[in-house]
Chains A and B, each alone.
Chain A
Amino acid sequence: MGDIFVLAEHRRGELREVSLEMLAAASDVAPKLGGNIIAILLGSGVNSFAEKLAGYSDKVLYVDDPLFADYNSEKYQQALSDLIGRYQPELVMVAHTTQGVDMAPALAVELKMPFVTDVVGLSFEGGELQPVRTYYQGKINADFAFKGKPPYLITVRESSFNAGDPTKFGTVEKILSPMKEDVQYRKFVEYIEAVVGDVDISQAEILVGIGRGLREEKNLPMIEDLAKAINAVIAGSRAAIDAGWLPHDRQVGTSGKNVKPKVYIAIGISGAFQHLAGMKAAKTIIAINKDPNAPIFTVADYAIVDDLFKVVPKLTEKLKELRA
């Protein structure tokens, strides 16, 4: 009792940062729960991950089984269900990612777990765990409490917690795979790479991001002028790609690319968390949006709350002048 399970997420030879972020979040509340932080690693030949996770947890339960070479929600659910049954943790944390949301809700139904998604904060108030999530594209926060019996299940949003440095010396325990045979109903077939265009936005130093606020494709030349003036690459939020203004390889966000440029100028982007997650780490963020409550301003270093159609052309003009 009081233990916290953290499901490590990995893909194609990479342990994803959110795994460490969740472990860090767990360490904030673990003392109050009085149990251990246990990282769950389901994979094939990923010892190095186990070692890395050990730096952030009290114990790593590592299932090394070729059946887990690639993610499969059915397998993950079966394995977790088995492990939860055996170890009875109080809290189970899964990343709120394409992998996590593909599995966690089913697990919650199967084991009748109290379930809160997309958690951005976790605290211990009045003797109980209180996860925090957001509504309405991040405009509202909500505090939750668990009413039912543990184990509790939460999915945790990427980049909500800081992984920090490894400070623990967890033991790695290789355990027997709970899978007797392959699963019946769902089969992983293959990965497909994104179509590589002429530009890799994740390597660009300066990015100009466009969003719904640009309104129409015919307003793109104004952005192109700006980009040219400062040697920037144009990227976009999901809205810009769905609208067909930019190809998919220019999409910034959780279903696009993670970018860490020196400067990110967000134009007409409201700042849905999927987008923020992809560009929050930029060194300097300049946001131009006429809505003062746009979530983009929560990550911006400079806020220009105004009509982009008035600001951008003038910005380009002045930049050209100063750089001439």
Chain B
Amino acid sequence: MNSEVRSFLEKHDLLGCIQCGRCTGGCPVAARTDLNVRRLIYESMDEKMLDKISKLPQIWDCTTCSTCAVRCPKGLKPLEVLIGLREVLVESGMVQPTVRDALESVFQEGNPWKKPRATRLDWAEGLEVKIAKPGEKVENLIFICCTVAYDPKLQDIARNLVKVLNKAEVDYGLVGDGEMCCSSEVYSLGEAGLFEMMVEDNTELLNSFAVNRIVTISPHCYSTFKNQHPLLKMESVHYTHLLCKLLAEGKLELTKEVSRKVVFHDPCYLGKKNSVFEEPRFILKQVPGMEILEFARKRERSLCCEGGGGKMWVETESLKERLAENRIKDARALGADVLAVACPFCILTLDDALKAKGLEEEMKVVDILEILNEAAG
């Protein structure tokens, strides 16, 4: 029996929209694509049109950055309407093959990258790392993330985190090789059924550990555990929260100088979605020798890198300059030689953009953890 008795209109409170256009006005991708979320909200009010609208390519340009939700005077969430439209297409089975493959991979192998479950911990080979045991008390449960675990470009982030935790003698344990996709992107892609299933499975798995806190590398994992897992019996934090605490309590000492001009890029899922702005900045301020610059578009106005919202699996139709390239240009204009990030998707898209712009000699895109490791000596 389908328990969805509410119509699309009711579910997304479409009648609450006053069509003011602040959403589209602030939407970072509206300038480079055909995405006009204000208009799509209006058109979606007619249930008969949903099938047609769900086939529009531009609904996949949304990165779920939440700028629209931040700006909406009625407190609505336009991005959820777009996710709802994606849901219509997903249920029909006719999603793009790359989306299909990512979703099937999560369903069958617990990660969207078509990698085997069995190799999830391969990044940790040769590293001294603690794995949590169900039932055994530990303070911090560490959740790595599918993308970090499997992408050779990002595996160093996990290693750096472990090294820092070991150095600071933190009481931690990794979820280990049973770790499976937090499914934040599954939600963004509109596969509600798979998302529900993963929430159930993850809640059961994570609750089996005797922990008070789960610490994630990716803001996406942090956000979904915090906001979309109501039965999860632990606090969900991002690694910047934990590291902040360690630095403030003197448990981690940064003694080596890292003399560089760094600008921090606020990840949408830390900043806009969860109002976490101070912790990454505090961490960077503790690094000796670091000169901290700020983007004009910072904090809530941070320019989305276009890595989230399923964008890893859906190519945009637009040929206009990517937002990430724009961000790189801005960072260079500031005179930064390091663009610091705290999200694996940001690293991938910004690093790609750096290469596309041919600026690898002038600037580096690095995760805060890499800087920390260097400074911790």
Chain A residues in the interface with B (C-beta under 8 A): 216-218, 243, 290, 307, 313
* Contact of A313 with B97 at beta-carbon distance under 8 Å, contacts A217-B315, A218-B315, A307-B152 already known: no
A contact residues around B355 at 8 Å (CB): 313
Bound-complex Cα distance A105 to B355 (A): 52
| Cβ of B259 under 8 Å from chain A | no
The residue that B97 contacts in the complex, of A218, A243, A290, with Cβ under 8 A, is A243
Top 4 closest A-B pairs, CB basis?
A218-B315, A216-B315, A217-B315, A313-B355
A238 to chain B, nearest CB (A): 15
Which of the residues A216, A307, A313 comes within 8 Å of B98, measured between beta carbons?
A216
- Chain B residues whose C-beta falls within 8 Å of the C-beta of A290 in the assembled complex: 152
| Across-interface contacts of A217 in B (CB, < 8 A) | 315
Chain B residues whose CB sits within 8 angstroms of the CB of A216 once the complex forms? 98, 315
CA–CA, A108 and B329, complex, Å: 66
Instruction: Mark out the residues of chain B between 172 and 191 whose CB falls within 8 Å of any chain A CB in the assembled complex.
Output: none
Least Cβ–Cβ distance between B59 and chain A, in angstroms: 19
Closest to B98 in A: A216
Chain A residues closer than 8 Å to B152, beta-carbon distance? 290, 307
Distance between A261 CB and nearest chain B CB, rounded to angstroms: 29
B95 to chain A, nearest CB (A): 15
Interface of chain B: mostly helix, strand, loop or mixed: helix
A77, B245: Cα distance in complex, Å: 77
Q: 1/0 per position for B309-342, CB-CB distance to A under 8 A?
A: 0000001000000000000000000000000000
Considering the complex, give the chain B residue whose CB is closest to the CB of A217: B315
Q: List residues of chain B with CB within 8 A of the CB of A243.
A: 97
For this complex, 8 residue pairs linking A to B, each with C-beta atoms less than 8 Å apart, are: A216-B98, A216-B315, A217-B315, A218-B315, A243-B97, A290-B152, A307-B152, A313-B355
Considering only CB atoms, which chain A residue lies closest to B316 in the complex? A218
A218 to B98, CA, bound (A): 12
* Distance between B127 CB and nearest chain A CB, rounded to angstroms: 21
Extra A-B contacts (6), CB below 8 Å, given A216-B315, A307-B152:
A216-B98, A217-B315, A218-B315, A243-B97, A290-B152, A313-B355
| Min CB gap B62→A, angstroms | 18
Q: By DSSP majority rule, is chain A's interface helix, strand, loop, or mixed? A: loop
* Docked CA distance A307–B152 (Å): 10
A202 to B152 Cα, complex, angstroms: 36
Closest to A313 in B: B355
A217 to B313, CA, bound (A): 11
Residues in B neighbouring A307, C-beta threshold 8 A: 152
Nearest opposing residue in chain B for A242, CB measure: B97
CA distance in complex: A77, B98 (Å): 42
| Closest-CB distance, B161 to chain A (whole angstroms) | 23
Bound form: Cα–Cα A217–B96 in Å: 13
- Of all chain B residues, the one with the shortest Cβ separation from A307 is B152
Question: In the bound complex, what is the Cα–Cα distance between A73 and B244 (angstroms)?
Answer: 73
B132 to chain A, nearest CB (A): 32
Cα of A42 to Cα of B98 in the assembled complex, Å: 46
B312 nearest CB neighbor, chain A only: A216
**How far is it, in angstroms, between the C-alpha of A218 and the C-alpha of B315 when the chains are bound?**
7
Q: A290 vs B98: C-alpha distance in the bound complex, in angstroms?
A: 22
Q: What CA separation (Å) do A217 and B315 show in the bound complex?
A: 8
CB nearest to B352 among chain A residues = A309
Min CB distance B374 to A, Å, is 22
Q: Mark B30-42, 1 if CB is under 8 A from A, else 0.
A: 0000000000000
Nearest-neighbor residue (CB-CB) of A310 within chain B = B355
Looking across the interface, which residue of chain A has its beta carbon closest to that of B313? Answer: A216
A307 CA / B355 CA spacing, docked (Å): 14
How far is the CB of A223 from the nearest CB of chain B, in Å? 14
Bound CA–CA A307/B97 (angstroms)? 24
| A313 to B359 Cα, complex, angstroms | 13
CB distance from B206 to the nearest CB of A (A): 31
Chain A nearest CB: distance from B317 CB in Å? 11
Which residue of chain A lies nearest to B97 when distances are taken between CB atoms in the complex? A243
A11 to B96 CA separation, bound complex (whole angstroms): 38
Q: Which residue of A lies closest to B314 (CB)?
A: A216
CB distance from B243 to the nearest CB of A (A): 29
A243 to B315: give the CA distance in the assembly, Å.
13
Complex-state Cα separation, A313 to B352, whole angstroms: 12
Residues of A within 8 A of B97 (CB): 243
CA distance A216 to B101 in the complex (A): 13
What residues on A are CB-neighbors of B315 within 8 Å? 216-218
Closest to A243 in B: B97
Within 8 A of A (CB), among B92-129: 97-98
